[in-house]
Each structure stands twice: as C-alpha cells, then as structure tokens.
Amino acid sequence: MPFRDLVRKAVWSVIYLLFILAPLLALLTGALPPSRNFWTEFSVALGYSGLAMMGLQFGLTARFRHVTDPWGEDVIYHFHRRISLIAVGLVVVHPLILIAAGSEKLAPPESLRDVPLGAVFAVISIGSLITLVIMALWRTRLKISYELWHIAHIVLAVVAVGGGLVHMVGWGFYLADPWKRALWIGMTIFWIGLLLYVRLVKPLFMLRRPYRVAEVRQERGDTTTLVMRPEGHPGFRFRPGQFGWLTLWGSPFKITGHPFSFSSSAEVDDGRVEMTIRNLGDFTSAIAKVPVGQRVYLDGPYGAFTIGNPADMHVLIAGGIGITPMVSMIRTLVDRGDKRPLILLYGSKDWESVTFREELEALQKRIDLTVVHVLSLPPEGWVGDSGYINAEIFRRHLPPGYADHEYFICGPNVMMDAIEAALGEMKVPLSKYHSERYSFV
C-alpha cells in the first residue's frame, strides 16, 4: 500500500476518534455537577459516546472521496454497519446499567404526566435504533424492498439521533455550562449539514451533469450493459475497477441510488461510461427495458479496488457478475498496450451464462491474457475446470512465485472468503490481494 494512503488512513482514524471522544472529555472540564457513583457515571459516558458515534454515521455515508479513497467505499460501508451495532449497544446498555445501579432517575413515576421529557425521547431514540437494526440485519427475510428500507433507514436514523439529543439536553446534568450546550448544538448542526450535503447539495451538482443512455446491449447470463454518454459536460475520469451510484428513474434528489461497477475502459476520451448489470430480480430486473435516450445520473467514481501497484503479473478472480470490474481492467490494459501477463480465473454456473465470453476470447489475441473458466455445472464433455476456484486451481494455472503476483477478487461473499483463505494457504501476503464486496446493505 502506498505510504500516502497509510498516512491518510491514520489521519482520518485520529479525526474520527477525536469526534467521538473530544465531546465526552469536554463535558468533564469546567464547572462539574456533584459526583455520583461509578456505575452511573460509566453509564452516562457510554450514552454520550454512543450518541457521538450515531451522529458520525451521517459522515460515513456522505461519500467524501478524500475519506473513502484510502480504504474503498465498500470498506467504509461495512465499517458503517459494524460501528452502528457498537453504537446501538452502547446506547441500549446505558439505561440498563442505570436500572441495575438503582438510579433514582429511573424510578417509576406516579402518573404518565410525571414522566420527564428526556425519558420520553430516550425511549423514542432507543426504539428507533432497535427498529433500524432489525430492518438492516433482516431486510431480506422480512421481504422489505431496498427502496423502502433506504427511506426508513434515513428516517429512523434522524429520529434516533434527534431523540438522543433531546434526551441529553432535557436531562442536562452535564450541560449546565452554556459552552458545553453550544458544543453539542454545534455538533448537531454539523451532523444535519452532512445530511443536507448528501440529500441537497450533491444532487444539485448532479442535476447539472446528466447522462443519456446511448445503447442498451444484451449480454449472456441475463445481463445488460448500459452505455451512457455525458450531456452538456465532459463527464468524469475513473480508474479501472471503480464504481458509481446510478439513479435511473427520476431526479438525483431521489432517495435511493444503486451502486454498480464500471465495465468500460478507463482510457476512453469521450466521457462514455458503461455499466453491466445482471438481473437479480429486484431493481435490476428493469435494466433490460431501459429505453435509449433515457436521462440518468451518475455519482462517482468511487472505490479503491483498482490496478496500479507494481507487480510481475495481474491475477483477476471473478465469480458471476463480479466479472464487471475485471472486464474494465482488461479493456483498460488492452488500450494501454500493457505487456505484462494477465490471468483471469472466471467462475460461472454454466457455459451459456458466461458474460463477455466471446469478447474475452477475442481479447486473448490482443494482450497476454489467459482465461480459465471454472464451471459449477459443466456441460457434458466439458474438459475444462469444474467445481469452484480453490488453491488447487491456483497451483495448476499460476506460475510459481505466487507472492509476486497482484490478485483482484470480486464475486459472492462465500466465494471471496474461500479464495482469500486459499491465498493465505499459499503464503500470499495480505498486501498483494484486493477484494471488493459489492453488497452495501
């Protein structure tokens, strides 16, 4: 990994920790209220930290390239999910500790009229958080559409953070000093600003930079390629392997965009962008019916899953529609006239569903490219590899010196886990292989 990226990762990690810990430490300075028992103070510290984490979630999903570039957008989103669970845990544990410690604040009121406003909003905040987590973890099982989930996710997050802030101010134990209240009000304004940036400012810029669908090309494997050209602007440049968020129907102010990898060469000079999308039965089922001339909006490029590091050869490992960023890499290397050997290990269900099959055969004549197809359901008489990509197939097709190659992996999570384990068995350093897990939900 380039030293510059290591520095950027360290800097942003420190900034993230400061945003979480600095407000908590600030509450312990200046005029302090009477001290209480350890468990009560510990519980309050957990609550404040959880609330700060929740507010910063708006920043993690704001798609700031300076933040996401060192890690990659997929890593940021997976971190967003994990840190959300930690934040929810802190917030939920906060009242449980108070109950266990016998806090007078949680004594049952004589009537509903006596319930403090801060307590009411605490219940609203925690209820919203629990609902948010349930919907995020079990969206598929609950058969909630991605679009509905996305809207509910935003609304619940705003209600949870807003309720937590009102609860904190209403309780007011540590916020007697005006400057401490001002600090948290300022943080709240910052969080709201992040949300407004994502939902208003960025869409305004995208509105002025639309694209038009120039071609809808059917591919093997129930897959469609959209060829999009910029309208009234030069477009953007991307690196092979990166992706963008596509808004297909409606304006860029629409809540839900969908992430897809670019499949075109990064060396095109006319701003043209291609996305190759497989029908998975959800939003993607309408891609094949998109009319030529349809206006669309693209937010990108994003992702750190891209070639560029020194290597004696590139090894691309794709499963299913994970071939999309790999094709972008291959097309780019062809256009650059790259002479290094390139091996593509391509896992598919059957021979007829191999997307880009004919093009890959043709590209082997233009570049030092070797394509190895691995079929889980091979046809009768198949003489190639069958089953799933594993360490045995690596050793059969890759030249020795495995640690000198650069590996790129994209496909279903189960496949990627198995391949990363196989590369570990072959003593390939972690720094030599890269993966993109394209499910952000």
Hey, where are the domains in the chain? Answer: 3-206, 211-302, 314-436
- The string of pLDDT tens digits covering residues 193-226 is 888 888 888 899 999 999 999 999 999 999 999 9
Q: Which residue in this structure is represented by tokens 């030069």?
A: 234
Task: Identify the CA nearest to 139 among candidates 440, 414, 412, 441.
Answer: 441
Amino acid code (one letter) for 59: G
The top-scoring range by mean pLDDT among 44-48, 60-64, 360-364 is 360-364
Q: Is the pLDDT of residue 3 over 70?
A: no
pLDDT of residue 360: 96
To which H or E segment does residue 371 belong?
Answer: strand 369-375
Its sign, for the CA torsion 421, 4, 305, 147, is: positive
Q: Is the pLDDT of residue 420 over 80?
A: yes
Q: Name the pLDDT band for 175 (thresholds 50, 70, 90).
A: low
Cis status of the peptide bond prior to 108, with omega within 30 of 0: no
**pTM of the predicted model as reported, rounded to 2 decimal places:** 0.81
- The string of pLDDT tens digits covering residues 402-414 is 888 899 999 888 8
**% of residues, the chain, pLDDT over 90:** 35
The CATH class of 211-302 is: mainly beta
Give me the helices (H) in 38-145, please: 38-60, 65-68, 73-100, 117-137
Domain 211-302 shares a fold with domain 314-436:
no
Q: Using alpha carbons only, what angle is made at residue 357 by residues 437 and 297, rounded to the nearest 5 degrees?
A: 50
Q: Write 186-190 long-range contacts (CB < 8 A, 24+).
A: 187/23, 187/52, 187/55, 188/55, 190/55
Domain 314-436 coded CATH 3.80.10.10: no
Let me know: does 63 contact 73? Beta carbons within 8 Å.
yes
Contacts of residue 103, defined as CB under 8 A and 6 or more positions apart, other chains included, come to 40
pLDDT of residue 166: 83
To which H or E segment does residue 273 belong?
Answer: strand 273-278
Average model confidence (pLDDT) across the chain: 85
Let me know: does 87 contact 57? Beta carbons within 8 Å.
yes
The span from the CA of 263 to the CA of 232, in Å, is 23
Identify the weakest region by mean pLDDT among 125-134, 220-229, 258-267.
Answer: 125-134
